[in-house]
Amino acid sequence: MSRLSPAALLVVGAFMVPLFIELPVVLSFVGVDLPMPVSLGMGVVTFVLVLVWSEVSQSPDAADA
């Protein structure tokens, strides 16, 4: 039993794109140099974590099944 529908995952993933594109710019203001590929990579990892959280259910019923 998924927590998020495919549509919700798509929308959540879409909202993460601007965050991870702008992250290096925001960090540059505090003197941190984060390369863009690293930032995008962090975005992918975060999305995978969301995916795992969504798909791996904690409910005992599902675990039994």
Partner 1 sequence: MSTPGETAGETVDSAREMLPDNSFLIQYPHVSRVVRSLFLTAFVAFGIGAFMGVLQALHRTGVARLVDSADYYTLLTLHGVLLVIVFTIFFLAGVFAWANTRSLDRPPVSKRFTWFWVATMSVGTAMAGIAILAGLIPSTDISADVLFTFYAPLQAHPIFYIGLAVFIIGTWLAGIDWFRQYLAWRRENAGERIPLQSFMVLTTMLMWFIATMGVAVEVVVFLIPWSLGIMPAPNPLLTRTLFWFFGHPVVYFWLMPAYLLWYTVLPKIAGGRLFSDPLARVVFVLFLLLSTPVGIHHQYVDPGIAEGFKFIAMTNTMFLLLPSLLTAFTVVASIEHGARQRGGTGYFGWLKALPWRDPAFTGMALAGLMFAAGGFSGMINAGMNINYLVHNTIWVPGHFHLTVGTAVALTFMAASYWLVPRITGRKLYSRPIGLFQVVLWFIGMVFMSAAMHRGGLAGIPRRTAEPQYPQVTFETVAGSVSSLRLQLAFGGVLLFVSALLFLMNVGLTAMNNKPARNLDSALPPALSGPDQSPTVLDNLKLWALIAVVLVILAYSLPLYSIVQGAGLYPAGQEASPAVIAPLLEVIA
Chain residues binding partner 1 by CB under 8 A are 5-8, 10-11, 13-14, 17-18, 21-22, 24-25, 27-28, 33-37
Cβ at position 65, least distance to partner 1 in Å: 25
Spacing of C-alpha 59 from chain mean position: 22
Spacing of C-alpha 2 from chain mean position: 16
The Cβ of residue 26 has, within 10 Å, a number of other Cβ atoms equal to: 11
Q: Residue 20 burial (CB < 10 Å; 0-12/13-18/19+)?
A: buried
Cβ at position 52, least distance to partner 1 in Å: 20
Cβ at position 25, least distance to partner 1 in Å: 5
In the complex with partner 1, the residue whose CB is nearer, 13 or 57, is 13
